Structure 1
Amino acid sequence: MTEPSPAAVDVVLPCLNEAAALPWVLARIPPGWRAVVVDNGSSDGSAGIAETHGATVVYESRRGFGAACHTGLEAATADVVCFCDCDASLDPGLLPALVREVEVGRAELVLGRRRPTGQGVWPAHARVGNLVLSRMVRQRTGLRLRDLGPMRAARREALLDLGLTDRRSGYPLEMVVRAADAGWRVREVDVPYLPRAGKSKVTGTWRGTWQAVEDIRAVLALPPMPNRRDVP
């Protein structure tokens, strides 16, 4: 089986104050692939560090994980686009395994299923919350997923055609829900989950956790779209 063409992949990296993690993350981007760092209002020099390490930097002033991800998707030019957190909890060097599933036609959306590498990497409350969310997604879509992690791969134009509207923490969930509505095949690939650098911007505070819950509720309340299979 041949590897996917390196020139065909852009990696979108939403970034908010990740100066400590960026050098490691960018060094792990597969050779020939392009890193698209979306600076979401960093105050620690993240954008400059990203440029120094060869990344393409775009800016999104609207604060929100979904806003940063979607701006990166729009800025991408490759046929296949990957998403990955910028906090060193996930290794971009493992993305070819996800892209391969898309390239050979086994799936239209591939998710990295996080597997913690040690105790404390993924707190119990976060794992339980993810499990509950996965069950809710199964009820809404029929997809039997075990994780809804941020590492993923799909074709750019197909993603844009999903018409995603969430611009906060519900964006990754909306991508899965709308993909299921469109009849996409969604697969998971196991990836190691590493200790992150710094505190989570979403679930690291009570305010962030509450906002995430509200965003998730709004996405799951979306009415299903007519099932259609409009991907290559």
Structure 2
Amino acid sequence: MDSKIVVIIPAFNEENSVGKVVNDIPKDSVEEIIVVNNNSTDKTRAAAELAGAIVLDEPIKGYGNACLKGLDYVSNKDSNPEIIVFLDADYSDYPEQLNELVAPIIENNMDMVIGSRALGNRESGSMTIPQVFGNWLATRLIRLFYGYQFTDLGPFRAIKWEKLQDLAMSDKTFGWTVEMQVKAAKKGLKCTEVPMKYRNRIGKSKVSGTVYGTFMAGYKILYTIFKYI
């Protein structure tokens, strides 16, 4: 692929999975792989470096904080990429599907592509009931209030760099993905989805794996949807 693609991977205590994620990304497709070590207390940094990623440290916890750290690094480079891909570090997504994810941007001039777990093959148990319901509710609220049809808030996503800059992303925690989709709808971006395979993650989720994390994620998603109406 001729397009300049940079992958940003937020990572908090993912020493057992982040290397697998980095290794499975098609190296002939991307310019840089950036892992943002989000105040991990294990060997996440070492595992990411061993796999060949550029590792940044973000000491303040929060998914959005980690993503913003990666974007700040990219914006300060001499040349910017054409496409930014976001990917989780827990190995639940299939990084080798990156080319499928970015194809609508490269071939059809789309602005943003969401890797949809709802449309793809999802391994049994890979998403909790609250996760499935939360995605269903959030995407229907986006459709109702913003007129955009999504099926998922999946973290595996691609967006044109200049369009991402226009969104002025600001959420520092659980609302990052829905903020991007809501703002994309408000800006009239050309969006689509690609079916993605999804498997059980390595290790325990810091969000859906706890009652507090599930509640806070749900609250932040709903708050963000209504905030930008």
Q: State whether TM-score is above 0.5.
A: yes
Superposed counterparts of 1:35-50, under 5 Å: 35-50=33-48
Give the equivalent residue in structure 1 for 2:16: 20
Superposed counterparts of 1:3-152, under 5 Å: 4-5=1-2, 8-32=4-28, 33=30, 34-76=32-74, 77-114=80-117, 115-152=120-157
Number of residue pairs matched?
A: 220
Secondary structure of the residue that 2:195 maps to in structure 1? Answer: strand
Distance 1:193 1:171, change over 3 A: same
Q: Which runs of 5+ in 2 are unaligned?
A: 75-79
2:122, 2:208 → 1: CA distance?
A: 20
Superposed counterparts of 1:173-212, under 5 Å: 173-212=178-217
Give the equivalent residue in structure 1 for 2:225: 220
Q: Cα offset for 1:91?
A: 1.3
Q: For 1:133, give the aligned amino acid.
A: A
Deviations 1:4-24 (A, max 9, x none): 326x11110000010110221
Q: Is the 8 A contact 1:97 1:189 kept in 2?
A: yes
Distance 1:70 1:161, change over 3 A: same
Secondary structure of the residue that 2:132 maps to in structure 1? Answer: helix
2:6, 2:169 → 1: CA distance?
A: 19
Normalising to structure 1: TM-score of the pair?
0.90
Superposed counterparts of 1:149-164, under 5 Å: 149-164=154-169
Deviations 1:23-54 (A, max 9, x none): 21111111132210001001111011111111
2:128, 2:64 → 1: CA distance?
A: 23
Identical-pair percentage: 34
1:21, 1:170 → 2: CA distance?
A: 23
Q: For 2:2, give the aligned amino acid.
A: S
Deviations 1:115-162 (A, max 9, x none): 344321223332122111111111121111111100100112220221
Moved more, 178-187 or 99-108: 99-108
Secondary structure of the residue that 2:68 maps to in structure 1? Answer: helix
Deviations 1:68-117 (A, max 9, x none): 11211222342211001110000111111121211224420100011344
Q: Is the 8 A contact 1:116 1:122 kept in 2?
A: no
Query: CA-atom RMSD, angstroms?
Result: 1.5
Q: Cα offset for 1:60?
A: 1.1
Normalising to structure 2: TM-score of the pair?
0.91
